[in-house]
């Protein structure tokens, strides 16, 4: 992973991901190397010019490094954690503008969503994640189906592990609208997210919307919807009739 050649680094990182999946402790030393390599890519722009893909530095390597770091718990070393947080924050801050070029946009988003997932893994209550949640609110309104799906998927990840649902609740109306999306995978992810973000303060609204949508929902979604509605009603109902 310390090699100068990006092709070698990419190949070795891929191998380590496969091996570390079942032997985390044996490959724990890769964590520091992955953090250092990411920081050099983002801050020092330490890469050959011919490894820039539509203005994004080696996106396939960045994605693999970000994903590898999610195999391990947050580092106890505060110095490593600080470098990692600064790197993630920079990736997120540099992604506020949407490139017009489709390939550049896809490469940038691939790195961005993996960085957001790592930030959630490190600390779902951090300021970095709070900033990312605002960005996700823009993505779930995007024209591209894949971007809408990834935005909802990242929000669902956050809702599953976060103690505070406030950053997600700000986008509740938009998430409810995803139930009417033309793509069934987006509708399904919207349903999962609404289920995850439901609590006593919004249960009546969410269950009411799910009941309305149930009447026109796809046949292969109805069984899952009925189950989710029943669970949420049993969990949050404050009266016999809802």
What's the per-residue H, E or C state across 191-235? HHHHHHHCCCCCHHHHHHHHHHHHCCCCHHHHHHHHHHHHHHHHH
- Rounded to whole angstroms, the Cα distance separating 169 from 175 reads 9
Residue 32: the pLDDT is 94
147 close to 154: Cβ distance less than 8 angstroms: no
Contact 51, 62 (CB under 8 A): no
- CB-neighbour burial class of residue 204 (10 A; exposed 0-12, middle 13-18, buried 19+): middle
> Do 87 and 36 touch, CB atoms closer than 8 A?
no
Beta bridge partners of 53: 56
pLDDT of residue 133: 86
CA-to-CA distance for 105 and 109, rounded, in angstroms? 6
| Number of neighbouring beta carbons within 10 Å of residue 36 | 17
Asked if 6 and 61 touch (Cβ cutoff 8 Å), the reply is yes
At 11 the pLDDT is: 94
Please check whether residue 75 is in contact with residue 84, taking contact to mean a CB–CB distance below 8 angstroms.
yes
The HSE-up count of residue 112 (CA atoms within 13 Å, CB side) is: 23
**pLDDT of the residue at 131:** 86
The bridge status of strand 52-53 relative to strand 56-57 is antiparallel
pTM to 2 decimals? Answer: 0.85
Q: Please count the other Cβ atoms lying within 10 Å of the Cβ belonging to residue 31.
A: 20
How big is the CA angle at 215 (ends 199 and 241), to the nearest 5 degrees?
Answer: 50
Q: What is the mean pLDDT of each run of 10 residues along the chain (242 residues)?
A: 90 94 92 94 84 86 95 93 94 79 85 93 90 88 90 90 86 92 91 91 91 85 89 82 54
């Amino acid at each position: 992973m310390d090699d100068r050649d990006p092709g070698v680094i990419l190949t070795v990182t891929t191998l380590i991901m496969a091996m570390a999946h079942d032997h985390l402790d044996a490959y724990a030393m890769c964590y520091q190397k992955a953090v250092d390599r990411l920081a050099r890519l983002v801050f020092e722009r330490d890469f050959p010019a011919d490894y820039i893909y539509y203005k994004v530095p080696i996106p396939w390597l960045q994605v693999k490094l970000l994903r590898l770091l999610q195999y391990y718990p947050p580092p106890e070393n505060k110095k490593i954690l600080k470098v990692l947080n600064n790197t993630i924050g920079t990736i997120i801050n540099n992604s506020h503008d949407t490139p017009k070029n489709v390939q550049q946009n896809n490469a940038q988003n691939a790195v961005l969503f993996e960085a957001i997932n790592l930030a959630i893994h490190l600390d779902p209550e951090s300021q970095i994640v709070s900033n990312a949640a605002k960005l996700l609110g823009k993505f779930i309104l995007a024209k591209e189906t894949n971007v809408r799906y990834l935005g909802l998927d990242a929000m669902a990840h956050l809702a599953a592990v976060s103690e505070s649902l406030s950053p997600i609740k700000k986008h509740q109306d938009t998430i409810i609208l995803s139930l009417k999306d033309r793509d069934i995978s987006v509708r399904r992810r919207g349903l999962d997210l609404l289920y995850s973000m439901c609590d006593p303060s919004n249960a009546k609204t969410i269950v009411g919307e799910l009941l309305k949508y149930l009447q026109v929902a796809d046949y292969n979604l109805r069984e899952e919807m009925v189950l989710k509605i029943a669970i949420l009603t049993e969990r949050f109902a404050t009266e016999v009739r809802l």
